[in-house]
Amino acid sequence: MFIVESYSLAVIFCLVTMLCWGSWANTQKLVAGKWRFELFYWDYVIGILLFSLLGAFTLGSSGSGGRAFPDDLAQAGASNIRSALLGGVVFNLANILLTAAIAGAGMAVAFPVGIGLALVIGVVLNYLLAAKGDPALLFTGVLLVTLAIIVNALAYRRHSGSTGKKGVGKWIVISVVAGVLMSTFYPFVAAAMDLENFHAPAAGKMTPYTAFVIFSLGIFASNFIFNAILMRRPLEGPPIAISAWFRGRPGIHLVGVLGGCIWGLGNLFNLIASGKAGPAISYGLGQGATLVAALWGVLIWKEFKGGTPAVRKLVSCMFVLFVAGLALIIAAGR
């Protein structure tokens, strides 16, 4: 299987993760108004599962390092399979709430609040799992990201107040809940892998490729519970029947599948990089997706259009804090 051998390449992989995790929601924005987010989310989950299988049978089964996907899956321990599955379940609950918040408040708000909070809590949890990196630089970077989250929330509240938009507090609360849940999924997946040795993983432990497939199965299976509940009791709008999904045009389904593949590419690269960079740094850099998503929301989707000078200053401050925080997280790994 393909294995990352240097920290520099691991950082590059994590930056790809950042771009992917911060960009997949553009596919949701593309179908907004034509396709309810609950319906979009079915396609998105299918895309993640398909991409995990693609990665497992290509990069995960080629080369001389580690174990090929079929062999690795056959020897995986039950406790490690359960751990990766549970990670998928937790992630799915968090992400479906995040997707709802994106539909309600936009990328420039849901991502910095939800995923920014996930970054802060997740870095701490993953550092406790595997203490790689300079703690002073790492946690100073986390502090700056925390300040960026607070500044972004203030900017959104001021902007919403000036435009008369309602439901501000609701979407911030949903983003916060999503962020807290999102911060806890990664340790479950990391615990199922042998982070110290991808070349010869311990018996029962999985390679990143196998762990990603099991994780994706957890997402897919739990979606029949979480998304079914949301379709019956939506956070916004009337209930929707599953039959509506079957009436969607092929093109609109493909947009959602593409979104899942984009997120899946980022997740696969992140797991591959975690062995060399450590889970705290690889997760922290990946969740720098907050910065990418905020840029999409502000510059492309104009989610703060018409904001006052004070709001624009807060948004600029948020970007500066995010960039400085991510730079320190990168430096912490050297």
Residues facing residue 206 across a β-bridge: 193
Give the CA distances from residue 152 to residues 25, 147, 310, in Å, rounded to whole numbers and listed in that order: 18, 9, 12
Task: Give 204-234 pLDDT, tens digit per residue.
Answer: 999 999 999 999 999 999 999 999 999 999 9
pLDDT of residue 246: 96
192 within 8 A of 205, measured Cβ to Cβ: yes
pLDDT of residue 218: 98
pLDDT of residue 164: 54
The number of residues making up the chain comes to 334
pLDDT of residue 166: 60
- Over the chain (334 residues), the average pLDDT of each successive run of 10 is 91 92 91 93 98 96 87 96 98 94 81 83 83 87 86 81 65 90 92 90 95 98 97 93 96 97 96 87 80 83 82 90 87 77
Q: Show the 3-state SS of 240-301.
A: CCCHHHHCCCHHHHHHHHHHHHHHHHHHHHHHHHHHHHCHHHHHHHHCCHHHHHHHHHHHHC
pLDDT of residue 163: 59
Residue 64 corresponds to which tokens in the numbers above?
């001389």
286 within 8 A of 18, measured Cβ to Cβ: yes
E strand or H helix at 161: helix 135-163
Task: Give 100-124 pLDDT, tens digit per residue.
Answer: 988 887 877 787 888 888 888 888 8
Please count the other Cβ atoms lying within 10 Å of the Cβ belonging to residue 52: 28
Helix (H, G, I), strand (E, B) or coil at 331: helix
The one-letter amino acid code at 264 reads: G
Task: Give 123-167 pLDDT, tens digit per residue.
Answer: 888 888 777 788 999 899 989 988 987 888 788 778 876 655 566
pLDDT of residue 334: 63
pLDDT of residue 207: 94
